[in-house]
Amino acid sequence: MLARRAVVVHRRLLASPTSFSTGAAAAAPSPFVFTAENFVDPKLPAGLSIVDLPLVKATDESLKGFGRLIRSADECMVENGNFEIKPWPLQGWRELDPGTGDEAGTTEGPFEVNWVGDFFYGHNLAVATANNHYLDGLAALPELATHDEEAPAGDGDSIYLWMSDYHPDGAQLFWPLEPIPFVVCLGPAAAGDDVKPSDMVAFAVEAGHGVYFDPGTWHNGVYTPRSAGPQRFLTRQGRVHARVSVSWAAEFQTLLRLPLTAPPQS
């Protein structure tokens, strides 16, 4: 059976010899506050440690505990009874009245991704907020990355991730508007707020498929190599759009690295 534990690669830190551990101890509370401004430009420091993630073929079996594959954009919908929305949290001991607390349903729209030099950006047009434009990853270490599209530092065949998030209010799905393969990075909802880099797994989704994330599943956006050019996906998610995030860079002094083109492990 595939060992899903990430491999930690220690690099010499440029600023200080701070070490990184994937042990059981929880990280200190993050000093990083996610805003519309720093989601696009997080000012990542030099010298971060690297955690290499395995790339696993996305199947219904391998995605258990994270979500599942979908074969059409409309396969998972509230109307079909198979798109999960979490009920509104209670303030006291009284129960919600039957049939209430989850009636906001879903919102959906395009999720656009594109490379600008070494910087991979996502733009979620399904949510009506200014905080919907993200730096989703980099093709090179922060101290080397450039926006120069003529001479990027990285080859775009792998990507470094600095953060992940989950939605406590409901599920989310991604469906490519063109039948292309793509990669997602997921952590189980069971990890909770004490998630560690070693909990995360990269999944390669074959062309002709999309992916559905269970509520609470740690994730990022969707990833394609630079050679694929700009791409658009349909995303569907809970209309409340509650988001809880972790900064791997600020809390663990770490980046997650995952391949975008290597053959996936079975």
Q: What is the pLDDT of residue 101?
A: 92
The CA distance from 25 to 28, in Å, is: 9
Q: What is the pLDDT of residue 266?
A: 65
Q: What is the pLDDT of residue 30?
A: 56
If the chain, 266 residues long, is cut into consecutive pieces of 10 residues, what is the mean pLDDT of each piece? 45 36 47 87 96 96 97 95 94 93 94 97 91 94 96 94 97 97 98 96 97 97 95 96 94 96 72
Domain locations in the chain?
34-78+105-259
Q: What is the pLDDT of residue 31?
A: 65
CATH number belonging to the domain at 34-78+105-259, selected among 1.10.1270.20, 2.40.160.40, 3.40.50.720, 2.60.120.480: 2.60.120.480
pTM: 0.87
- The DSSP bridge partners found for residue 175 are 234
How many CA atoms are closer than 13 Å to the CA of 99, on its beta-carbon side?
0
Q: What is the rounded (10 degree) CA torsion for 65, 4, 159, 263?
A: -100
Main-chain dihedrals φ then ψ at residue 66, nearest 5 degrees: -120, -40
Per residue, the 3-state secondary structure of 162-216, as one string, reads: CEEEECCCECEEEEECCCCCEEEEEECHHHHHHCCHHHCEEEEECCCCEEEECCC
Q: What is the pLDDT of residue 21?
A: 39
